[in-house]
Amino acid sequence: MKVILVVGARPNFMKAAPILRAIADLNRTEKPQITPVLVHTGQHYDAAMSDAFFADLNLPKPDIYLGVGSGSHACQTAEIMKKFESVLENERPDAVIVVGDVNSTLACALVTAKISFDANGTRPLLAHVEAGLRSFDRAMPEECNRVVTDHLSDLLFVTEESGFHNLQKEGIDKERILFVGNTMIDSLFACEKQADNPRILERFGLIAAGTNGSTKTSPYVVLTLHRPANVDDRRLLIEILDGLQEIATRATIVFPMHPRTHKKIQEHELRSYFEFEEGESRRDRPCAKGLIKGIGPLGYLDFLCLVKHASLVVTDSGGIQEETTCLGIPCVTVRENTERPVTIEKGTNVLAGIHSRGIRDAINAQWQRVPKSCRPEKWDGHAAKRITRILLDHHQRRQRSSGQSAGTQPIHSRPAALEVQP
């Protein structure tokens, strides 16, 4: 069975890595085997946004690199579609796996759903990992990507129960929805030990020598902001930064910046809120009061270590809401909604909105709450194993029913009923 696995942007890498590992594990014991083809669209291309994650997650070099780069939503999506169509025609895989909700996810799903390898309309099976999440906010580009990808997919692998219900309400057959857990959390478990390296805490002066050779971590906040809705508009960005001022006088705030956020801070002339990492002398001491320590994007392991030891995380990311839930770190989400309600239900995450007062109040309520790990159902490190098992079983069932020999023909669009459900 030949499977194309698509990645494009930073959050895709940790969702895809466990799937490749699970395929390798399965291939050690099973026949027929799964032949994976890793396709990187190049949506994220900076070394810090892509290569660093490949190294930290032990991902192999992509088999195919499309090199699309940045662009408007339409241009980027169209460019990926054009290039991915040729990939499908050349590779003729049995299945395509897309993960998450970025433009690469949508583009490759659309191409897979519409391609036809022969007069019968034969095409690869399309599987969406992290299906069913809904913010119910169509102004979010990711929400459009999620809805369209889900409605095109043959198999929908969901991470939390809300995903199952959302998809059913939208009329998707129950048989195609599979509650398997969260592959991003598979990566967290796989890398947690390796990530526990104090070098990143030392770099920011967050760790001090205690008695008897022990060390003590000072309370600090990790901040991430990258959504266009939060950083593109100067007035809104100031609202958010003002909401962080009070806590900045009490604790170091470490802010690994997405390149777009860094660019916007320069453009909006908001450098006065930050202390940027200039020169070695400033690196190893906490930030001056009232300022936010602005640094470049971190790799996966360093970021995980920083989050794991933080007193609080303030973010507008989706994945970080999930990681903090799993690690039991209090999280304040700088958004009006979340597509990941389980993080709120478990009590680690609160929605603060995007106004300074709400952000300040949420931070005060969450600050130094006692960490409590609360793993949602099936976030147990085995999601990728379930996904690959289902894909292979499905493929074998189809082959038996059509009497084909292994790997000679792509899968038709409509999968047979599947049995795994919440």
328 binds ligand UD1 (CB under 6 A): no
Measured CA to CA, the distance from residue 258 to residue 137 in angstroms comes to 23
The token pair at 184 is: 């991003």
CA atoms within 13 A on the CB side of 199: 8
Nearest to 277 by CA among 300, 299, 294: 294
Residue number with CB closer to ligand UD1 (71 or 290): 71
The token pair at 268 is: 């909006």
Instruction: Determine the size of the site formed for ligand UD1 (CB under 6 A).
Output: 18
Supply the DSSP symbol for 156: E
260 binds ligand UD1 (CB under 6 A): yes
Question: What does residue 253 show for φ and ψ, rounded to 5 degrees?
Answer: -110, 120
Nearest to 18 by CA among 50, 58, 48, 71: 58
Which of 45, 65, 117, 367 lies at the binding interface for ligand UD1 (CB under 6 A)?
Answer: 45
Residue number with CB closer to ligand UD1 (196 or 267): 267
Which of 1, 9, 126, 298 lies at the binding interface for ligand UD1 (CB under 6 A)?
Answer: 9
The token pair at 64 is: 């195919």
Question: What does residue 216 show for φ and ψ, rounded to 5 degrees?
Answer: -130, 130
| Secondary element (H or E) of residue 17 | helix 10-29
CA angle 110, 113, 118 (to 5 degrees): 130
β-pair partners for 295? 256
Closest distance between ligand UD1 and the C-beta of residue 57, in Å? 15
52 binds ligand UD1 (CB under 6 A): no
Residue number with CB closer to ligand UD1 (176 or 264): 264
Q: Taking contact as CB under 6 A, which single stretch among the options 39-47, 109-117, 374-382, 401-409 is the one that binds ligand UD1? A: 39-47
324 binds ligand UD1 (CB under 6 A): no
User: By the 8 A CB rule, do 183 and 7 touch?
Assistant: no
| Secondary element (H or E) of residue 221 | strand 220-224
Residue number with CB closer to ligand UD1 (9 or 265): 9
Residue number with CB closer to ligand UD1 (306 or 391): 306
Which of 103, 159, 349, 366 lies at the binding interface for ligand UD1 (CB under 6 A)?
Answer: 103
Q: 200-229: which residues touch ligand UD1 (CB under 6 A)?
A: 226
Distances (CA, A) of 192 to 21, 52, 271, 381, 386: 16, 17, 34, 11, 21
Which of 2, 15, 21, 44 lies at the binding interface for ligand UD1 (CB under 6 A)?
Answer: 44
Residue number with CB closer to ligand UD1 (137 or 380): 137
371 binds ligand UD1 (CB under 6 A): no
128 binds ligand UD1 (CB under 6 A): no
Supply the DSSP symbol for 33: P
Q: Taking contact as CB under 6 A, which single stretch among the options 97-105, 118-126, 129-137, 194-202 is the one that binds ligand UD1? A: 97-105
264 binds ligand UD1 (CB under 6 A): no
258 binds ligand UD1 (CB under 6 A): yes
Closest distance between ligand UD1 and the C-beta of residue 323, in Å? 13
Residues acting as catalytic residues: 226
Sheet holding 220-224, edge to edge: 274-276, 292-295, 252-256, 220-224, 312-315, 331-333, 349-351
Closest distance between ligand UD1 and the C-beta of residue 97, in Å? 17
102 binds ligand UD1 (CB under 6 A): yes
49 binds ligand UD1 (CB under 6 A): yes
Tokens 């973010």 belong to residue = 315
142 binds ligand UD1 (CB under 6 A): yes
Which positions lie near ligand UD1, rule CB under 6 A?
A: 9-11, 43-46, 49, 70, 101-103, 141-142, 226, 258-260
